[in-house]
Amino acid sequence: MSIWIIIGIVLVTATFMEFVAWATHKYVMHGFLWSLHSDHHKKDHYGFLERNDTFFLIFAVPSMVLFIVGSA
């Protein structure tokens, strides 16, 4: 595979993932999951963690499970 094809794949993938991140933030975090994300925008709570940190579980855990199942 040519180096230009590899560079093209990387650039297209990065561009697409930026769109996915933007759309997820706009339509999911500022949409139906605003109740979890809102404390990220207003710092009226105490403690190290905030409800917004649950997005790690929402997005990373299914991804890790799919990687584990796919490699088994």
Does 45 have pLDDT greater than 80?
no
Alpha carbons within 13 A on the beta-carbon side of 57: 6
Q: What is the rounded CA–CA span in Å between residue 56 and residue 60?
A: 5
pLDDT digits (tens, 9 = 90+) for 12-40: 999 999 999 999 999 999 999 999 999 88
Does 44 have pLDDT greater than 80?
no
Conformation bin of residue 47: beta by default, left when phi > 0, alpha when psi is -120 to 50: left
pTM > 0.75: no
Q: In the structure, what pLDDT confidence band is assigned to residue 49 with cuts at 50, 70 and 90?
A: confident
